[in-house]
A and B are shown apart, each in its own frame.
Chain A
């Protein structure tokens, strides 16, 4: 059941991501990105990462995708009805990407990640029988990862101020 659902969502992810690249209309490409992100959230649920899945929905789908739609709307010249997203160097870029993918697949097939010593220690997330990862993540964020947690809040503050400053009316020159 889990495996079937995983392959269905993996198919959805790959199809919508490829369509996102090759869509002519940029708004349609953004909606394809929405399908990709939603299917990824479903895969996270299958991987016992419920909190990450909810965060994916809230931050990516609710935040970043809306930002991208704003960006598309605000950078539209207004003379064309459809916001075109044209491609250039498709052959060379496709070849480069294909070589990169081949290298990655070769490495994944060659290394054998499931043979790593810590992977074979037996207990996995599925076998612990925990209902939710929320407790573990909360404990981790405020103990082992307390410093990155605080730095992340600082990064968000700086990004907010920087975005507000850059897009304000100050002259670029």
Chain B
């Protein structure tokens, strides 16, 4: 059974990371920015699991990927709470319009 070449996985992860950065840079809606952050977490996870494939005895990459997933869950909960609070306060979640000096 042929396994996937490491370089192709790293390239896929690099492209996924770049798309996440693109979403963070250009999107106006705060939730869309969060979705870009999730893409970046997933790119990191893909790298960790790709390298863990060649590390049979310790599985360190896969265990670390689990911790990344835990951090991503905590981050999503906190960030969406902040988004909802910002919406209550400014009545918008457009990151270009949220400005404390206008509040």
Contacts and interface: CB of A to CB of B under 8 A. Distances in A.
Partners in one complex: yes
Nearest to A130: B56
Contacts of A109: 7
A138 B70 CA distance: 16
Interface string A109-150: 100011000110001111110100100110011001100100
Given A29-B35, A87-B28, A156-B73, A13 B16 contact: yes
B4 A2 contact: yes
Nearest to B86: A75
Given A93-B22, A162-B78, A52 B45 contact: yes
Given A18-B19, A85-B28, A75 B83 contact: yes
Contacts of B62: 49, 51-52, 133, 136-137
Contact of A152 (B67, B85, B91, B96): B67
Interface string A30-47: 100100110010011011
Contacts of B66: 51-52, 55, 137, 141
Interface string B20-35: 1111011111111011
A46 B4 contact: yes
Contacts of B52: 47, 49, 125
Given A29-B35, A105-B14, A136-B59, A155 B70 contact: yes
Given A2-B2, A124-B53, A133-B59, A70 B80 contact: yes
A159 interface: yes
Nearest to A46: B4
Nearest to A6: B4
B76 A67 contact: yes
Contacts of B2: 2-3
In this complex, the member of B29, B35, B82, B83 whose beta carbon has the largest number of chain A beta carbons within 10 angstroms is: B35
**Nearest 5 interchain pairs by C-beta:** A159-B74, A93-B25, A104-B14, A101-B18, A163-B81
Given A3-B2, A94-B22, A156-B73, 17 more contacts: A10-B8, A29-B35, A33-B35, A33-B39, A40-B45, A64-B38, A75-B30, A85-B31, A86-B27, A87-B27, A89-B26, A96-B25, A104-B17, A113-B7, A133-B59, A152-B70, A166-B82
Interface of B: 1-12, 14-23, 25-32, 34-36, 38-39, 42, 45-46, 49-60, 62-63, 65-67, 69-78, 80-85, 87-89, 91-93, 96
10 contacts: A14-B15, A14-B16, A33-B39, A48-B53, A85-B32, A87-B26, A114-B5, A125-B54, A144-B63, A155-B71
